């Protein structure tokens, strides 16, 4: 299996069930770091590169409810492989902080725990897709499913194919994220997604600043 080149930037990912507030927090962290003089790149999964964005459209289109789990997994990993090599790795190689809205832990939570695809298979396939590149720091925002559903309803946006999975599906995903966080405490920080946005942002800022200091990461 080929390995991606070693990176010298810093890779931060944001995770959680839909409606947990991760996208807002990713944007706030990027804004804060840029104001401090860091080179910051924001991106998302699925997507983040032209080919991956086309795959995203297929994955989230509610017209494709007949998509089988095996197809879903392979499409997510195909998008990740392209995104990582086309965008994430080059930005890390130039020394940027890359902030990504979802990455590999979403696959383990949504397809592993949510769809109940064996985690051992997912980890092996994901390793092939990523070439062994892992995030340096991951924030998971934990939120009760009922609260997440309320937030999504308040947004009044059309429901995508994943959001149509139902409450039991999202309960498995939430529990999956909590399990994933417990298994990787050195990399993953689990935060209460029900906290006020300003409180969460300050926690994210402080934790990230501490991690960058540990790495002696320069602006």
Q: What is the pLDDT of residues 58-67, one digit of tens each?
A: 999 989 989 9
Cα–Cα dist 17/140, whole Å: 9
Q: Residues 122-152: pLDDT tens digits?
A: 999 999 999 999 999 999 999 999 998 888 8
Q: Does some domain include residue 66?
A: yes
Among residues 140, 138, 142, 141, which one has the least CA distance to residue 211?
Answer: 138
User: Is residue 2 predicted with pLDDT exceeding 50?
Assistant: no
- Specify if 130 maps to a domain: yes
Considering the domain boundaries, does residue 1 fall inside one?
Answer: no
**Domain boundaries, position 190:** 10-214
Asked whether residue 16 is domain-assigned, the answer is yes
What CATH number corresponds to the domain at position 43?
Answer: 3.40.50.300
Report if residue 3 sits inside a domain.
no
Integer CA distances (angstroms), 159 to 18, 60, 128, 150, in order: 11, 9, 31, 13
Residue 118 within a domain = yes
Tokens describing residue 142: 């934990």
17 domain-assigned? yes
Domain-located, residue 219: no
Confidence of residue 1 (pLDDT cuts 50, 70, 90): very low
Task: Give me the number of domains the chain comprises.
Answer: 1
């Amino acid at each position: 299996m080929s390995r991606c080149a070693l990176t010298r930037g810093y890779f931060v990912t944001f995770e959680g069930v839909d409606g947990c507030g991760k996208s807002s927090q990713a944007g706030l962290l990027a804004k804060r770091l840029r104001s401090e003089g860091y080179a910051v790149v924001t991106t998302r999964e699925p997507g983040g590169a032209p080919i991956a964005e086309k795959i995203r459209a297929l994955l989230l289109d509610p017209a494709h409810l007949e998509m089988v789990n095996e197809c879903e997994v392979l499409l997510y990993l195909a998008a990740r492989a392209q995104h990582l090599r086309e965008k994430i790795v080059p930005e890390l190689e130039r020394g940027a902080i890359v902030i990504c809205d979802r990455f590999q832990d979403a696959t383990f939570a949504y397809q592993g725990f949510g769809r109940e695809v064996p985690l051992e298979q997912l980890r092996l396939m994901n390793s092939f897709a990523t070439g062994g590149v892992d995030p340096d720091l991951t924030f998971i925002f934990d939120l009760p499913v009922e609260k997440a559903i309320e937030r999504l309803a308040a947004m009044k946006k059309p429901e995508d194919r994943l959001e149509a999975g139902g409450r039991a599906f999202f309960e498995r995903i939430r529990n999956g994220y909590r399990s994933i966080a417990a298994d990787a405490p050195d990399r993953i920080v689990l935060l209460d997604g029900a906290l006020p946005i300003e409180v969460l942002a300050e926690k994210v800022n402080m934790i990230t600043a501490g991690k960058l200091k540990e790495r002696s990461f320069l602006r």
